[in-house]
Structure 1
Amino acid sequence: MTSSQPSTVDRAFQSALYDDTDTGLDTGASLLAADSGADVELARRGREFVAAAWRRGWQPADVVRLVRRELDDPHVRLAAGLIRAQAPDDRPRGPRWRAQLDALPQTDGHARMGDRFSHATAVLELYRLLLRLPALEPLDEPRPTGTGHRPESRMLTRIRALLAKAEATGFPEEAEALSAKAQELMARHSVDEALLAAGAPAPDAPGACRIGVEPPYEQAKAALLDAVATANHCRAVWNEPLAFSTVVGFEADLEVVELLHTSLLVQATHAMTKAEAAQRAGGRKRTKTFRQSFLAAYAHRVGDRLRAAARSALADTDPSRELLPVLATRELAVTDRMAQMFPETTTTRLRGITDEAGWTEGTKAADKAQVHSHPQLP
């Protein structure tokens, strides 16, 4: 009785994936480069790594974000190609997952790079990363309501347009008014969705999404996301090692959190760059502590403004006896979902907030982007 010999792919994996040395990687790549007949099995095994990542709670955007941070652009294209190739074999997914597939970086063919040895090296480096992915909290798609999945509302379209204008304008007062109007519409959108879901035959349930929080100054960026989430009836939990926050809330609120956080981060970066240039013109040289303090102050101040705007917008709706219990029930549902997903969390104190000028300028920028319920449009 004879035993079957390990395949070229098995031998390459044994050398490269379970050995962190460059020598092991070179050995594995050499084996694959010399055997073109191994290509089909190599691609199949890659799809299996992707499927295993999904079982461990990862989603397409999470994988791409990590590959981009840990490796290089060719690896990102390889990962996108693998994810697309695996999709036909995957189980049915919801709209948020499908949107992530649509947003994958474009690839041509099988995203092959350079000669066979270079390509095999990149593939093995990617597989090394996929093999070592830790388990994440699963993000279940929200249960459908009795109304089914609705197309994006006119309200969200208006919100997107307002935020785009706020990001593009060079006038702080105009950005303030536009951002304020957007937050007012967000609060109304949340109330409308809450009442609609409460009246549906199958009540909605909280879901969750992950939003990248990339360095540098990731602590301040996470604080900004936390402020936006809290003001919009969601909760955010930051995973510093993997550079993302998980936001828990109802789908309509998750959508506006993603929109507003992205917009405010763009506005904060613009304001920080302008303030930093003024500091340099005055003879200042150090910038890292200035930026960290600027963004921390911006997040703190914007959080206050967002909460005030949300309270004001809610008051303007003249909450009825019907609405208040609905909002309280949804708040409890979000809290319970977060406790289920993250039974143990810790709080983090922002570090490196030592620059008085940065704090002052960040606060001023947040005041210019302040959010209230009835902006005076210019």
Structure 2
Amino acid sequence: MSDAILSKVRKLLAKAEDPACTPAEAEAFTAKATELIARYGVDRALLAAREPTSDPIGDRVIDVVAPYALDKTGLLAGIADALRCRSVRRRDGSGFAVHLFGFASDLERVELLFTSLLVQAAHGIAGTPVPSGEHPAAFRRSWLAGFAAAVAHRLRAAEAAAADSAGTAPSTGVPSVALVLADRSDRVDRRVAEVYPRLRTAGPRRLLGRGLGLGAAAGRRADLGGTGLRTGRATPLTGG
């Protein structure tokens, strides 16, 4: 991500994190940070339509470690899908290796947000008491599922808004934003099919915990701006 955009996002988040900031002001700052990241994705897509070498399609592998490794892969998959990337989950010891496919700028956004949201999820779970009579692990798994679903919904909405507000001058010779983004998604899908021709879709999970609503509420409050980009193994959630 360009230094200029990242600098703006960091400043917005610093304001949102200021103890003197009201909840309404913090929400506005966070929404602006999310808007900037979504707009960046559309701008890079339009630039690549004119200069394909500026944003090549590629892949990378992210290690997702225990505890709650499967649940964290759900968060990663939701972020990836919302940002026009695709993910393939592979078992790796006690955790998973998630193979991501997408254009370079989108992969960067996915990894930035996943790193930030893992930390936020860990803080959220730590600050949420397990209800009496509830199994801690079951509750936390359902909490993470709610958190991931809310985050993915917010990201899809931000991406759609950025695409709707983007305009392309007829003289540029670049197709419409919708066509550009659809073509990018199709190309990513084809790359996945080339690498995994016999890929199977996992069935839905049945979660017993009652933390879904609380996790979703935390996901709706989560900061989607991100504050840094780190590769490799993600910060694990604690708990049993």
TM range (shorter): 0.7 to 0.9
Alignment match of 1:367 (pick from 220, 223, 227): 220
Larger radius of gyration: 1
C-alpha spacing 1:305/1:210, structure 2 compared with 1 (3 Å): same
Match of 2:102 in 1: 249
What is the rounded CA distance, in whole Å, between the counterparts of 2:3 and 2:157 in structure 1? 25
What is the rounded CA distance, in whole Å, between the counterparts of 2:165 and 2:195 in structure 1? 34
Match of 2:5 in 1: 155
SS at match of 1:212: strand
Match of 1:329 in 2: 183
Match of 2:76 in 1: 225
C-alpha spacing 1:162/1:238, structure 2 compared with 1 (3 Å): farther
Q: Could you say which structure has the greater relative contact order, defined with CA pairs below 8 angstroms and 6 or more residues apart?
A: 2
Encode CA deviations 1:32-90: one digit per residue, 9 max, x unaligned: xxxxxxxxxxxxxxxxxxxxxxxxxxxxxxxxxxxxxxxxxxxxxxxxxxxxxxxxxxx
SS at match of 2:146: helix
Alignment match of 2:32 (pick from 181, 185, 195): 181
Q: Structure 2 matches for 1:108-123, cutoff 5 A?
A: none
Kept in 2: contact 1:235–1:334 (CA 8 A): yes
What is the rounded CA distance, in whole Å, between the counterparts of 1:159 and 1:269 in structure 2? 22
SS at match of 1:233: coil
C-alpha spacing 1:212/1:183, structure 2 compared with 1 (3 Å): farther
Kept in 2: contact 1:166–1:178 (CA 8 A): yes
Structure 1 counterpart of 2:4, one-letter code: R
What is the rounded CA distance, in whole Å, between the counterparts of 1:213 and 1:226 in structure 2? 12
Match of 2:90 in 1: 239
What is the rounded CA distance, in whole Å, between the counterparts of 1:193 and 1:165 in structure 2? 26
What is the rounded CA distance, in whole Å, between the counterparts of 1:319 and 1:341 in structure 2? 34
Q: Which runs of 5+ in 1 are unaligned?
A: 1-150, 373-378
Kept in 1: contact 2:167–2:177 (CA 8 A): no
Alignment match of 1:343 (pick from 197, 215, 235): 197
C-alpha spacing 1:261/1:290, structure 2 compared with 1 (3 Å): same
Report the TM-score when normalising by structure 1.
0.51
Measure how far apart 1:339 and its partner are.
1.1
**Higher mean C-alpha displacement, 237-246 vs 250-259:** 237-246
Encode CA deviations 1:329-378: one digit per residue, 9 max, x unaligned: 2122111111112222222346461012x112112212223869xxxxxx
Find out whether 1:261 has 2:114 as its counterpart.
Answer: yes
C-alpha spacing 1:256/1:167, structure 2 compared with 1 (3 Å): farther
Encode CA deviations 1:159-180: one digit per residue, 9 max, x unaligned: 3555677789798766654543
SS at match of 1:344: coil
Measure how far apart 1:301 and its partner are.
2.0
Measure how far apart 1:206 and its partner are.
0.8
CA RMSD of aligned residues (A): 3.1
C-alpha spacing 1:160/1:244, structure 2 compared with 1 (3 Å): farther
What is the rounded CA distance, in whole Å, between the counterparts of 1:290 and 1:305 in structure 2? 23
Structure 2 counterpart of 1:208, one-letter code: D
Q: Which has the higher strand share?
A: 2
Encode CA deviations 1:73-128: one digit per residue, 9 max, x unaligned: xxxxxxxxxxxxxxxxxxxxxxxxxxxxxxxxxxxxxxxxxxxxxxxxxxxxxxxx
Q: Which runs of 5+ in 2 are unaligned?
A: 170-174, 226-240
Measure how far apart 1:183 and its partner are.
2.5
Sequence identity percentage: 40
Aligned residue pair count:
217
Structure 1 counterpart of 2:79, one-letter code: V
Measure how far apart 1:203 and its partner are.
6.8
Structure 2 counterpart of 1:336, one-letter code: R
Match of 1:317 in 2: 166
C-alpha spacing 1:355/1:334, structure 2 compared with 1 (3 Å): same
Measure how far apart 1:275 and its partner are.
1.0
Structure 1 counterpart of 2:57, one-letter code: P
SS at match of 2:207: coil
What is the rounded CA distance, in whole Å, between the counterparts of 1:177 and 1:349 in structure 2? 37
